[in-house]
Structure formats: C-alpha cells, structure tokens
Chain A
C-alpha cells in the first residue's frame, strides 16, 4: 500500500480516506458476493452469518486489531503505518467490507431466476450471465456501497486509535477526520463548532447519497 501514491490534499482527510477505503472494499466484496450468489457450497450459511456478524463489529475493536497489525511490534510494523492515512484506510476497509458484501449478496440473490435463465437461453457465457444479474441488482449494490460509505465516514473509534487525530501546528490536517475533529471539539466543550462540523458531515453523506442515486437513475434511462 505504501508504494501507491495517494491523491490526498491536506486538509481534506475524511472524503479521500473513506472513498479509497470504500472503493477497495467494493472491489473486494463484489466478487465474493457474486461467487456466493451464484453457487452453493457446504457452509454457505455459516459464511453468510459470519459476514452478517461483521456488519455489527465494533469499530474500536477493528481499530485495536489494525493497531496491533501496524504497530511497530506488529506484523506490518516495518512499514511504519501507525498514525497514517494508510492505517485509517485499512480499518475503514475492514469496517466497510461486511455491509457491502452482505447487502450486495442479498441484492444478487434477489434477482429473479427468470433473468438468469433468459440470459442462459440466449447463449450467454457465465460472465455474461453474471453481468446481466449485476446490472439488474445495481440498485441493491448501490445501497450496499452507500451503507459501506456511511459506516466508513461516520465512525470515530478506529480512526482515532490508528490515525491519532493529528494536524500540523498550523492546522493542516494529517489524520484528523471530521469525526475525530468533532470528538476533539466536544472534549474541549466547543459544542457549537462540533455541531457545525456534524452538519458538514451529514451534508457530505447526503450529497454522496444523492450523487450515487442519480447515477443509478441515469443507468435506467439509457
């Protein structure tokens, strides 16, 4: 992860960190959801219940696990990722993956069997069938991505632990997100500033939701 140059502009930590985490998480989750939606194997219910449990996994616990991983004493200690955005992306990735996988899986499983059969009958390969089903399930998948994004950008426990809530002395954010900034302001009794930051966060999430749903609508018109 360190060799990839990340497009961060300092001062705006929450959006890029969460977008990257959710993008990676979606790329990881969708294939799993597709494979699970298209096949039956022993223990499938068990895997499902593990994923569903992951949706409720406390973010502070994820933060601790990532901390142990990236801490100097941990397995990835040599990469010096503690108190960096990369570590925050790791923990948000872990947090966003279960909801994205579970909701995508439900959406894919919910596609009418007739669609699948029709694609087969028309001579589609397995890949064609998968793409048709994905297209049919796109609303559900968009919901899944939004749920993952909501979880990633709104959590405070893990990014506080692995990121350290750091800004430079001149106020340029390094690992301070909107949520950890709210936490800091609340700690100092600056409830008004905290509320304003909260409003910014809610507006941001609303905007992202609107954009994603808009994109989905355009897909229908085409």
Chain B
C-alpha cells in the first residue's frame, strides 16, 4: 500500500490525469483503490491511453436523445478509455472548455463556435452531422402558422397574435438560433406572451406542452419526446423541405492544448477521428428513436469542404 501511494502521488506530480482516470475506473471491483487501478492500467499489453478519461461537454440535444450513450461504448472499447459526457447546452459547454474544464466540445451554434476558434480555444473543427429545427405548437394552432414556408413569417405571426411562445433563454444553440430568427424576422420578442424559461430543450417542450404554447425545438429532442407531449410540428425544417434557415449543423472541436496544457489533446483527436469515421457516421445515421432517424452525418464526403476547419467566411486572402 505505501508503494502504491507513492506511485499515485508521483502520478499527480507529473501532471497525469491521475484523479480522473482513477475515478473512472474505481468501480471495477468494490473496495479497489484508485492507486491500484492506476498501477494496473499502466501494465499489460493495453494501449498507452487505457484508463484515461475524455471529458466531452456538449449540448442537451445530443445527450437527451440518447445518441451519445448509443455510440460511445464503441469508442471506449476501442481505446480502453471512458468518455465523460456533460450535457450543458452550447453556451455553457463552450464556457467549460474555455476554462479548460473539458477536452472536447460538440455543439451546434456556428457563430459561437467561430468565436471560440478565433479566440484560440478550439482547434481542428469538423462538421459532424446535422438535423433541423422545427416550430412546434398546440394542435389547434391559435396563431394559424401551420404549413407556412417561412420560419420568420411564422414567428412574426405568433408575435402579432401575441400567442404564447416559450424561449429556452439559456444561451444554448437552440436559443441562439431562435434569437437569430427573431432578428431575421425584424421582430423584437417581448411581452406577456413571450417566456424565457432558462431550461434545457426537454423542459422547454414540457412547459410549452403544459401551457399550449409555441416553441422552437431541434427535431431530435422533439421526436425523442413526442410520445410524452401533445405538441405538433407546424413549420418544418429543411429535412422535410422546410426553409434552409432552420438547418441545425453540429460541429466538433478539440480544446487547444496550447492554451490549456492539461487538455487531453491526444484522446480528443482520437475521438474526432473516430466520430468522423465512416463506421461511426453510419452508426449515427442508423440511430433511431420511435422509428425515426434523428441525426444526419455529414463528415464523410468525396468533396473537399475547407470551411469546416475555419471560422465561417474566413479566407487567407482577407489578410486575417
């Protein structure tokens, strides 16, 4: 035991991810100490990363739909590691990464991702997958937006009729999209009909459901929750031939080890390689809830797409 403790202290001293690695495996046998686990993972013919932990901060939609729990065992088995997925919402996920508290981020708000990259926190961004946003509301549709081809027109109609609208109000990717839509519609939301809930997508849908209100939702969370609620899709997104403005692309980025030297960069890049590989992209494509596909992979492509690696619209010619 004293020897193990020395080893363990030495591991911390060298800045290894001793604590997180130990924790992640501490349950392999009850009563097993972190030190024993730590010593164990160093031996044998296992890969050098075995026993490490990758902290992924992400949005509630990838987590609550069950996608990550479906695909992560494959990655964990491949490398002998564990993935700690923290579902926070896009704004908070990026903030955690900015503070050096996560190794990799998977989010869906291109503008916020671009800021994150421009400020040096994120590198090696890849387009990962997409789905779309839909405007959902009560079946009787008091504002009469059903089937509108324009999301901004629908929002303007909701505002003019002062029908109840539930906003996430939490700086998430969906909230960011919603604010962009209001701006595009030229309408300033506010008043008694507009409620900011400050909650995740699932909760916002529940609140909208209970109040017979409209809300903007990503299709994935809506489908995975549809059996629990009475809301229906009134304005479709691009997947069902709705307006392109409701597209919902997800990106993935490693935290820059030049800014945060504690970031597990090796493993983050292994994760990006794995999740953008044809096999995992197929797994994403095959993931269904209630018989419907939730996410559409877009990492594997014959054609080059250089814009996915840099902030949108960035060009080396612009002298940036």
For B119, the chain A residues whose CB sits under 8 A away are none
Residues of B at the A interface (CB closer than 8 Å) are 5, 8-9, 12, 15, 17-20, 23-24, 26-27, 30-31, 33-35, 55, 60, 64, 68-73, 76, 82-88, 99-101, 199-200, 202-203, 205-206, 209, 224-225, 228-229, 260, 262
Q: Does A3 contact B (CB under 8 A)?
A: yes
Apart from the given pairs A72-B260, A72-B262, 6 other A-B contacts in the complex at a CB distance below 8 Å: A5-B33, A6-B34, A8-B26, A72-B100, A80-B20, A167-B69
The stretch of A49-57, A92-100, A134-142, A168-176 in contact with B is A168-176
For A78, the chain B residues whose CB sits under 8 A away are 15, 262
For A84, the chain B residues whose CB sits under 8 A away are 19-20, 23
The stretch of A21-29, A37-45, A184-192, A213-221 in contact with B is A184-192
A5-B35 contact, Cβ under 8 Å, with A81-B19, A174-B23, A187-B200: yes
- Best-buried of A5, A83, A84, A171 by chain B (most CB within 10 Å): A5
Contact indicator A172/B27 (Cβ below 8 Å) = yes
**Bound complex: CA of A184 vs CA of B199, how far in Å?**
11
Q: Does A14 contact B (CB under 8 A)?
A: no
**Bound complex: CA of A184 vs CA of B18, how far in Å?**
29
Contact indicator B20/A73 (Cβ below 8 Å) = no
Contact indicator A166/B86 (Cβ below 8 Å) = yes
A-B interface, 8 closest residue pairs, ranked by CB to CB distance from nearest:
A10-B27, A72-B100, A169-B72, A5-B33, A189-B228, A164-B86, A187-B202, A188-B202
Instruction: Give the Cβ gap from A78 to chain B, nearest Cβ, in Å.
Output: 8
Q: Show 12 A/B contacts (Cβ-Cβ < 8 Å), sorted by A.
A: A3-B8, A8-B27, A9-B30, A11-B27, A72-B101, A72-B260, A72-B262, A79-B12, A168-B83, A187-B64, A187-B203, A188-B225
Contact indicator A169/B76 (Cβ below 8 Å) = yes
Q: Does A123 contact B (CB under 8 A)?
A: no
Closest to B18 in A: A2
**Bound complex: CA of A7 vs CA of B33, how far in Å?**
7
Closest to B31 in A: A7
In A146-174, the 8 Å CB interface with B consists of: 164-172, 174
A166-B85 contact, Cβ under 8 Å, with A2-B18, A80-B20: yes
For A184, the chain B residues whose CB sits under 8 A away are 64
For A8, the chain B residues whose CB sits under 8 A away are 23, 26-27
For B68, the chain A residues whose CB sits under 8 A away are 169
Instruction: Give the Cβ gap from B229 to chain A, nearest Cβ, in Å.
Output: 6
**Bound complex: CA of A11 vs CA of B225, how far in Å?**
26
Please tell me which one of the listed residues B19, B72, B101, B200 contacts residue A79 in the complex, with CB atoms under 8 A apart.
B19
